[in-house]
Structure formats: structure tokens, C-alpha cells
Amino acid sequence: MLAKRIIPCLDIRDGQTVKGINFLDIREVGDPVEMGAEYARAGADELVYLDITATHEGRNLFANLVRKIAEHVNIPFTVGGGIRDLSDVDPLLNAGADKVSINSAVVKNPDLIGQVARSYGSQFVVVAIDANFEEDDWFVYVNGGRIKTKRRLFEWAREAEQRGAGEILFTSMNHDGTKNGYANQATAQLSTSLGIPVIASGGAGKMNHFVDVFGEGEADAALAASIFHFREIGIQDLKTHLRNHNIPVR
């Protein structure tokens, strides 16, 4: 049976792992390659590395880092952050990344989804969507949650799928950093209306939040950062907990 995936997310700035709380207040937590290898040993199903560096030098560090991750980590990993066009994708996939996650660039230029999908295959394209619930709807934000757009979550996710996305990574900005649980209702609505896997992100604080997002939220995968980085929840303990709640895990 296809297992539900647990995905630690590592935010990278200047080649180091950091974790932002509610998209700001960043503190460093450790070496990304070591952390990735340790998560893989602990039973993580996949990893996501997001480059939050704004500088050109930082970006070069990230490309070198991707190669080191590919050398040392024996599970699939996705990389993203700062991808603007196809020429940003090539070096990442050639360095050994399994997928790229693209967020703001595809909101501005939706054709990029199809371009990457045609060049590499849909399974290489994760479309990441940051959305905030306000005025009775989910609005899509870009630039790390700083700029609101007119796009709505469900329409945009459907369009991304039609354009060739292989997976949707949905972060609820309302839930991110709160540790009060995932946006289960919205995740379920996404997951049941799309024909591609949905990764839920934002809000994990307790092991039961994962039970809920896989159950009620019907997510295919759940992503979290700080609770893993600060060892509040161990991956193996979490897998045992999920298994005890009849959720298929590896």
C-alpha cells in the first residue's frame, strides 16, 4: 500500500539551515547535508530544501549544496526557492535534485510549469502555493508570503495541475508557525479535487496533527520543519504513532 510521506523541510540561507517562524524571525539550526542524512536515517520519506537567500553569492552556495546533498542523502529530495526561469532549474536537476519546487515565478509566469514539465517530466515539478484565508477565501501570496495576489488557492492549484505540475505543496499561512495543526479542510478539498499528490504544510505541533492531516485532511504527504529540527517530535515515534492510528507509513 502506498505510504503517507513525512517530509522535513530545511530552509537554507547562505548554505546553512535556518527556520523562520511565520516567515520571519529566522534562527540557524545546523548543517543541511548532515541534517538531511540524519533525517534519512531516522526514517524521513523525503526532504525539501528551500533556498531563502536573496544574494547572488548565496545562490551559488545553494547549487553546490544540492550536489553535496545528492552525494550523501539516499532518499528523494526537492529543492526550491528563487527559481525564476528554466535556466535556474537546469543546474539544480543536473546536480542531482529529484524535484524542483517553484512558487512565485509560476504565479508570475504560469508557462514555466509547462516548460519544466516538458523538459524533465511532470514528476520533477512541485508547485508550491502559500495561501492565506481572508475575506472568505484562500488568497495566493508570493515572495515568501509578503505580496498578496488576486489568485485563489483552488483555481490556481487546478490550473497548475493542468499545466503539468506533478505535485502541489500547499502552505497555509494562517497555520504556519502556530503549532495548532494543519489546514485540514482546505487540504482535503485540494486533495480530493486534484489528480496529483498534495503535500500539506504549516501548523504541525503535535503527532495528532499528522493523524488529522492524513485522515481528515486526506493529504498524501505532510511537511514540517521546526518540530523536527528542534527534536520536539522524532520521526520514528511519529511513524509508530501513525501506524497505531491505521495510517499507512513506511
Partner 1 sequence: MKVAIVKYNAGNIRSVYFALERLGIEAVITDDHEKLRTADRVIFPGVGEASTTMKYLKERKLDILLRELTQPVLGICLGLQLMCAHTEEGDADCIGIFDLEVKKFEMKLKVPHMGWNSLENVRGKLLSPEVEGTFVYFVHSYYAALGENTSAMTHYNIPFSAAIERDNFYATQFHPEKSGPVGEKILKNFLEL
Helix (H) or strand (E) segment spanning residue 199: strand 198-201
Name which of 52, 111, 39, 117 is nearest 81 in CA terms. 52
Q: In the complex with partner 1, which residue's Cβ is closer, 1 or 56? A: 1
Tell me: does residue 88 bind partner 1 (CB under 8 A). Answer: no
Instruction: Encode burial over 225-244: b for 16+ CB neighbours within 10 A, e otherwise.
Output: bbbbbeeebebeebbebbee
Q: Which residue type is seen at 186?
A: A
Name which of 38, 95, 30 is nearest 62 in CA terms. 95
Q: In the complex with partner 1, which residue's Cβ is closer, 104 or 189? A: 189
Residues that are catalytic: 11, 130
Tell me: does residue 208 bind partner 1 (CB under 8 A). Answer: no
Q: Write down the least CB distance from residue 245 to partner 1, Å.
A: 18
Segment 16 to 45, residues that bind partner 1, using CB under 8 A: 40, 45
Choose which of 93, 174, 232, 240 interacts with partner 1 (CB under 8 A): 93
Q: Facing residues of 137 across strands? A: 134
Asked if residues 131 and 172 have their Cβ atoms less than 8 Å apart, the reply is: yes
Tell me: does residue 122 bind partner 1 (CB under 8 A). Answer: yes
Choose which of 8, 32, 80, 166 interacts with partner 1 (CB under 8 A): 166
Choose which of 51, 88, 130, 167 interacts with partner 1 (CB under 8 A): 167
Q: In the complex with partner 1, which residue's Cβ is closer, 128 or 142? A: 128
Helix (H) or strand (E) segment spanning residue 153: helix 153-163
DSSP state at residue 86: H
Binding stretches for partner 1 (CB under 8 A): 1-3, 5, 40, 45-46, 70-72, 74-76, 93-96, 98, 120-124, 166-167, 194-197, 220-221, 250
